[in-house]
């Protein structure tokens, strides 16, 4: 290329331009050059400050350059005034990013320069004149921040793939986050701005900075604002969680005003916690792929875990909140934090809670171990979910009832790849008397139940189709495999008795309860203490074997037959055509 155009008449400028041109080693590098002023036509003033005037113009020859978002094509000079001129691309009106504060202009300019190509997902960060905002309405306020909703007339820049150019999303509904007295601490304002992602993929998008001309307060112009708790630590925790949102499956943790919660009913209580059910009017945010934006699941049933006197230990509250998963697909989700205005107690708004930390931790631990869609989803079930409760037996330390579970258990639907519930499921309820005062013993009892209902740690009949042939074989006496070393003989004998081919040999629910109760009278620190020495030996040997082989059992991989289905369904299609056997076995 002939670079004879760069003769500015100023040695320093010539040297700078030549140095930049000599550094060109890629085809998409910008060719910086001296541009004679007579190359410009249709020069029109578009904006000015005390130090700078901005014009639009047509450059007759045009640049030697592959397009970038923000490019400096060259330098020119007005022959009448002698003012030097930067010739830049006209993707945005450059006067918009002139705030008259050097530090703010610098961060805006740097953010724009990092858009070094048409990366369609980059946020175009800019200075936004306050007169661009209409319909400004205050939505929330604390000592440090006032939040407004508004309409941004021009709207943010986005890359239009159809026209292969940047365009504006006109009359965009946005949020104005006004920082009180922020003009006194520009560094703090810039540090806050740097926390936001530069990509549109996050939940929060910071479009730019503005300033209220009456107060001088600086303003963040962003797409969302959800948190104003009145407590700086809680605000900071919620904001950090929101700024980490990078995937549409991430839970949007938020501050939830107490007046958003209706139909509040106490469901449980202990010394430090009261649990309520409630309806959250607006409901949680989730990404709607149909309209490509976040929408709310309104009138969502939630659980409220009210932590008594938690206002006295906000650090403890935040530590509890940090334990919860961040994904919507998790079975336990923390939607946000609220506060009872009458008591001042903080509230964790959850998808469920038992009100007992040990029970909640245990359930969550079991859910985190789910690694197969056929695994049982172990969960906390509110008592209000049970209808038609009828006592069917009583003995020992427990009473057994039959009931209907309104929502029913969670089952994975392979076709639509989502968990659904099997409603109005008939189940058995085993009441453990006084178990609220012996939580550790109660949880040890629960641990006896496998997550996949098998002493082998594997799904029963996983190597074959669950069809007519299996139904027929079960009627003929085939049973799941039992790993003898992993369970005490007394336990496996009871299991075999329960599925005996002769129904008269099978134990009923009371006999099962009495048998299990008789296995142990109380729990030691690590294991059972039992009266019968032989039973104690069996349980100890089984536990020692289980612990010795724990890693190999957990890492055991088996290919499950594609027609092995582990979810509730009617068996009529398989059983209606089975042969009508004589009642030889009374089965």
The model's pLDDT over 15-63, given as tens digits with 9 standing for 90+, comes to 888 888 888 877 667 788 888 899 999 998 877 777 788 888 898 888 8
Give the pLDDT of residue 1.
44
Q: At 511, is the pLDDT very low, low, confident or very high (cuts 50, 70, 90)?
A: confident
Instruction: Give pairs for 135-141: CB < 8 Å, separation 24+.
Output: 136/176, 139/175, 139/225, 140/225, 140/228, 141/228
132, pLDDT greater than 80? yes
Q: Residue written as tokens 């020119």?
A: 76
Q: What is the pTM of this model?
A: 0.53
243 pLDDT tier (thresholds 50, 70, 90): confident
The tokens describing 75, both together, are: 């330098």
pLDDT, residue 325, reads: 76
* CA atoms of 152 and 61, how far apart (whole Å): 36
* 139 or 43, greater pLDDT: 43
Residue 272 pLDDT > 90? no
Reported confidence tier of residue 524, pLDDT bands at 50, 70, 90 = very low
Mean pLDDT of the region 219-238: 81
Closest to 439 measured CA to CA, from 496, 363, 513: 363
Kindly indicate the confidence band of residue 216, based on its pLDDT and cuts at 50, 70 and 90: very high
CA distance 63 to 71: 10
Q: Which residue has the higher pLDDT, 472 or 439?
A: 472
Longest dimension (CA), the chain: 115
According to DSSP H, which parts of 61-185 are helical? 102-113
Distance CA 571, CA 468 (A): 9
- Range 283-292 average pLDDT: 81
pLDDT at 395 over 70: no
pLDDT of residue 121: 73
Task: Give CA separation, 108 vs 111, 202, 386, 476, in Å.
Answer: 5, 19, 58, 77
Cβ neighbourhood burial of 25 (10 Å; 0-12, 13-18, 19+): exposed
Whether residue 480 has pLDDT greater than 70: yes
How confident is the model over 87-115, as pLDDT tens digits? 877 555 555 557 778 888 888 888 887 77
What DSSP string describes 23-84? T--STTS---EE--GGGEEEEEEEEE-SS-EEEEEEESS--SS---SS-EEEEEE-TTT--E
CATH of the structural domain 126-350, one choice from 3.90.550.10, 3.30.200.20, 3.30.450.20, 1.10.357.10: 3.30.200.20
| Residue 279 pLDDT > 70 | yes
Q: Which of 346, 345, 321 shows the shortest CA–CA distance to 333?
A: 321
For residue range 294-353, list pLDDT tens digits in order. Answer: 888 899 989 999 998 888 889 989 988 888 877 766 667 889 999 999 999 999 998 877
Per the structure block, which two tokens stand in for 562? 């594609």
333 vs 324: CA distance, rounded Å:
7
pLDDT over threshold 90, residue 280: yes
Task: List Cα–Cα distances, 52 to 77, 104, 210, 254, 282, in angstroms.
Answer: 14, 16, 19, 43, 48
The residues pairing with 54 across neighbouring beta strands, listed in sequence order, are 47
Same fold, 11-90 and 126-350: yes
- Output the pLDDT for position 454: 46
Using CA atoms of 22, 25, 26, 27 in order, give the dihedral in degrees to the nearest 10: 50
SS3 194: coil
Q: According to CATH, what is the number of the domain 11-90? A: 3.30.200
**Class of residue 140 by CB neighbours under 10 A (exposed 0-12, middle 13-18, buried 19+):** middle
Q: Is 521 a residue whose pLDDT tops 50? A: no
Question: Cα separation of 549 and 552, whole Å?
Answer: 5
Whether the per-residue pLDDT at 384 is higher than 90: the answer is: no
Flag whether pLDDT at 529 surpasses 70: no
pLDDT range class, residue 179, cuts 50, 70, 90: very high
What are the extents of the domains in the chain? 11-90, 126-350, 369-575
């Amino acid at each position: 290329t002939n670079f004879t155009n760069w003769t500015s008449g100023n040695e320093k400028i010539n040297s700078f331009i030549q140095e930049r041109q000599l550094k060109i080693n890629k085809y998409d590098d910008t060719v910086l050059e001296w541009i004679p002023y007579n190359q410009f036509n249709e020069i029109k003033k578009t904006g000015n400050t005390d130090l700078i005037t901005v014009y639009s113009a047509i450059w007759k020859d045009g640049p030697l350059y592959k397009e970038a978002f923000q490019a400096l094509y060259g330098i020119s000079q007005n022959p009448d005034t002698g003012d030097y001129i930067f010739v830049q691309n006209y993707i945005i009106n450059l006067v918009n990013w002139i705030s008259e504060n050097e530090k703010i202009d610098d961060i805006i300019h740097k953010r724009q320069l990092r858009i070094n190509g048409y990366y369609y997902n980059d946020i175009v960060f800019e200075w936004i004149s306050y007169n661009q905002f209409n319909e400004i309405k205050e939505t929330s306020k604390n000592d440090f921040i006032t939040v407004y909703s508004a309409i941004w007339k021009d709207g943010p820049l986005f890359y239009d793939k159809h026209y292969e150019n940047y365009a504006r999303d006109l009359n965009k509904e946005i949020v104005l986050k006004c920082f009180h007295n922020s003009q006194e601490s520009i560094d703090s304002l810039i540090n806050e701005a740097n926390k936001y992602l530069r990509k549109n993929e996050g939940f929060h998008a910071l479009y730019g900075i503005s300033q209220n001309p009456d107060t001088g307060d600086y303003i963040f112009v962003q797409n969302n604002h959800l948190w104003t708790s009145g407590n700086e630590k809680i605000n900071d925790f919620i904001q950090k969680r929101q700024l980490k949102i990078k995937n549409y499956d991430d839970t949007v943790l938020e501050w939830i005003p107490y007046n958003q919660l209706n139909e509040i009913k106490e469901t449980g209580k202990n010394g430090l916690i009261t649990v309520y059910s409630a309806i959250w009017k607006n409901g949680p945010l989730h990404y709607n792929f149909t309209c490509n934006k976040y929408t709310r699941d309104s009138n969502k049933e939630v659980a409220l875990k009210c932590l008594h006197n938690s206002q006295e230990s906000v650090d403890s509250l935040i530590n509890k909140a940090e334990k919860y998963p961040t994904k919507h697909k998790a079975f336990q989700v923390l939607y946000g934090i609220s506060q009872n205005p009458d008591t001042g107690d903080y509230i964790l708004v959850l998808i469920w809670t038992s009100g007992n930390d040990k029970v909640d931790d245990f359930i969550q631990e079991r859910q985190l171990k789910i690694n197969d869609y056929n695994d049982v989803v172990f969960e906390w079930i509110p008592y209000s979910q049970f209808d038609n409760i009828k006592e069917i037996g009583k003995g020992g330390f427990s009473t057994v009832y039959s009931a209907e579970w309104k929502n029913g258990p969670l089952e994975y639907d392979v076709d639509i790849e989502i968990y659904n519930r099997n409603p109005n499921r008939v189940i058995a309820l085993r009441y453990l008397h006084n178990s609220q005062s012996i939580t550790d013993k109660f949880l040890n009892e629960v641990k006896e139940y496998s997550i996949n209902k098998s002493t082998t740690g594997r799904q029963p009949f996983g190597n074959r189709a669950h069809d007519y042939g299996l139904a027929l074989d079960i009627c003929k006496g085939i049973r799941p495999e039992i790993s003898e070393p992993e369970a005490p003989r007394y336990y496996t004998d009871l299991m075999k008795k329960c599925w005996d081919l002769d129904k008269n040999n099978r134990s009923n629910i009371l006999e099962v309860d009495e048998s299990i109760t008789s296995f142990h009278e109380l729990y030691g620190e690590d294991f059972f203490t039992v009266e019968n020495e032989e039973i104690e030996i069996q349980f100890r040997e089984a536990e020692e074997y289980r612990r010795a082989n724990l890693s190999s059992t957990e890492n055991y991989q088996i290919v499950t037959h594609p027609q092995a289905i582990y979810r509730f369904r009617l068996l009529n299609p398989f059983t209606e055509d089975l042969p009508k056997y004589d009642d030889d076995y009374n089965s």
